[in-house]
Chains A and B, each alone.
Chain A
Amino acid sequence: MNDAALIWSYLSRAPLLWLTATLVAYWLGDSLFRAAGRQSWANPVLIAVILLAGLLWLTGTDYRTYFEGAQFVHFMLGPATVALGMPLYENLHRLRRAFLPLLAALFAGSLTAILSVLLIAKGFGLSPVMLASLAPKSTTAPVAIGIAEGMGGEPTITAVLVLLTGIFGAIIATPLLNLLGVRDWRARGFSLGVAAHGIGTARAFQVNETAGAFAGIGMGLNAVLTAIIAPVILHLFQ
């Protein structure tokens, strides 16, 4: 075996390589996202995932080996979820002022998101594992991953579904809400945060500050609500 092969056989098994690769891929994705003028379709996570998936395929590395290194980044999902409580706390005063509309829209949006995706998926005859992975698709990824895991879904599938949901929601929200004639920035932001979590919230902040704040509230509240109701609703489909 020559030196390069020796070095590779060491690196490909140690966590350092894939941890570095994860950060670099995200860095590239984020740079492209900025270069594209922060358009929703140029999502940095999606770009990073595509780059890393390609790299794993090229080097013949399996996901388990990759995860040995990437788990340090993955671990941060937990504390980051806890940290999501902070914007919620800071916006509590807005929440009190529009309490009833927020509460009604939260339940309506959250139930619609879970029920409709399960009905359509069931109609297409998708597997029970896929149903459990789809159910929390509108909640923020760290929470959705936890919910899917608890319901017998596949967390890695959920992660990708959550991402695609966020990107699609961020792209469609403005034309859809214009078409419906919804002008209230609170309603526009909140419904987007409930249906399309953090990616939707980032989009809402680009359009309007109030919409962004309400999207953040929607995302936080729906994370808690979906965690409670998704297992109950999924039970009806099994």
Chain B
Amino acid sequence: MIPALALLLGFQLAGEVAARGFGLPVPGPVIGLVLLVICCGLRPRLAEMLQPVVRGLLGNLSLFFVPAGVGVVAHMAEFQSDGLAIAIALMVSTALAIAVGALVFTGIVRLLGQREP
């Protein structure tokens, strides 16, 4: 467990250093994510070693959002005054994104003449 955790933190650390060092707009952990995919591709045994800790982290992923979510208490005023506008923006945009994404996917599949599995 410790080596796997150290590796995950190491990827994150490398990502943070790269993001700050090169002034990239991408958050450090996202660069760490890409590094993990690349390194696992180069050394498949790494994936095996990381697997149990990764499963534990991803199985409880939603817990980690809670502290940031509670921050809403500090912004109740904004949500009270602009709540309706925010709700409309979120709902319309999310429905549109699902519809457009799915239709473009099936459209390209049809265009290429691929079979749907």
Contacts and interface: CB of A to CB of B under 8 A. Distances in A.
A and B: interacting chains: yes
A32 interface: no
B2 interface: no
B10 to A, nearest CB: 9
Interface residue tally on B, bucketed by range: 35 or more
A66 B50 CA distance: 32
Nearest to A77: B64
Contact of B116 (A159, A162, A183): A183
Contacts of B98: 109, 169, 172-173, 176-177, 191-192, 195-196
B57 A88 contact: no
Contact of B25 (A22, A100, A102, A227): A227
A48 B68 CA distance: 11
B105 to A, nearest CB: 4
Contacts of A194: 97, 101
A56 B88 CA distance: 29
A113 B96 CA distance: 7
A66 B70 contact: yes
Interface residue tally on A, bucketed by range: 35 or more
Given A25-B66, A113-B93, A184 B116 contact: yes
B5 A159 contact: no
Contacts of B93: 112-113, 116-117, 120, 137-138
A155 B74 CA distance: 11
Interface string A167-203: 0110011001100101111111011101110110000
B51 A80 contact: no
Contact of A105 (B15, B71, B78, B101): B101
Interface in B1-37: 5, 8-9, 11-12, 15, 25-30, 32-37
A109 B100 contact: yes
A173 to B, nearest CB: 6
A79 B91 contact: no
Given A74-B67, A184-B105, A137 B90 contact: yes
A16 interface: no
B52 to A, nearest CB: 11
A156 B74 contact: yes
18 contacts: A22-B67, A26-B66, A67-B67, A70-B67, A73-B64, A76-B64, A81-B12, A83-B36, A83-B50, A86-B40, A86-B58, A89-B47, A104-B105, A113-B93, A130-B82, A143-B27, A147-B27, A164-B87
Interface of B: 5, 8-9, 11-12, 15, 25-30, 32-37, 40-41, 47, 50-51, 53-54, 57-58, 61-75, 78-79, 82, 85-109, 112, 114, 116-117
